[in-house]
Amino acid sequence: MSEIAIVILNWNGEVLLERYLPSVVEYSGDADIYLADNASTDSSVEFVRKNYPSVKIIQNATNGGFAQGYNEALKQVEADILCLLNSDVEVPENWLDPIKKAFQQLPDAAIVQPKILDLMRPDYFEYAGAAGGFLDQLGYPFCRGRIFQALEQDSGQYDDIREIFWATGACMFIKSSVFKSLNGFDEDYFAHQEEVDLCWRAKNEGHKVYYVGTSKVYHLGGSTLSNMNPKKTFLNFRNSLFSITKNLPRRKAFLIIAIRLLLDGVAALRFLFQLKFNHCIAILRAHLSFYKNFRRMYKKREKANFILKYYVTKSIVWSYFVNHINKFNILVKD
**Beta strands at 141-143 and 133-135: parallel, antiparallel or unpaired:** antiparallel
Each residue's pLDDT tens digit, 129-147: 999 999 999 999 999 999 9
pLDDT value of position 227? 60
Q: What is the mean pLDDT of residues 174-199?
A: 96
Q: Please indicate whether residue 132 or residue 304 has the higher confidence score (pLDDT).
A: 132
* pLDDT given for residue 96 in this prediction: 98
Q: Do 117 and 126 contact (CB within 8 A), yes or no? A: yes
Asked if pLDDT for residue 225 goes beyond 70, the answer is no
For residues 309-319, average pLDDT: 94
State residue 1's pLDDT score: 59
What is the structure's pLDDT at 308?
A: 81
Per domain, the residue ranges of the chain are 1-87, 230-331
pTM of the model: 0.95
- Between CA 217 and CA 274 the distance in angstroms is 35
Average confidence (pLDDT) over 83-97: 97
Residue 310 dihedral angles phi and psi, to the nearest 5°? -110, -10
Predicted confidence (pLDDT) at residue 304 exceeds the cutoff of 80 = no
Helices 277-299 + 230-247 axis angle, to 10? 30
Protein fold of 1-87: Spore Coat Polysaccharide Biosynthesis Protein SpsA; Chain A (3.90.550)
Residue type (1 letter), 190: F
Percent of the chain exceeding pLDDT 70 equals 97
Tell me: pLDDT of 302 over 80: no
Q: What is the mean pLDDT of the chain?
A: 95
Look at residue 62 and give its three-state secondary structure.
coil
**Model confidence at 16: pLDDT above 70:** yes
Listing DSSP states for 129-194 in one string gives TTT-EEEBTT--EEETTEETTEE-B-SSTT-SEEEESB--TTEEEEEHHHHHHTTSS-GGG-SSSH
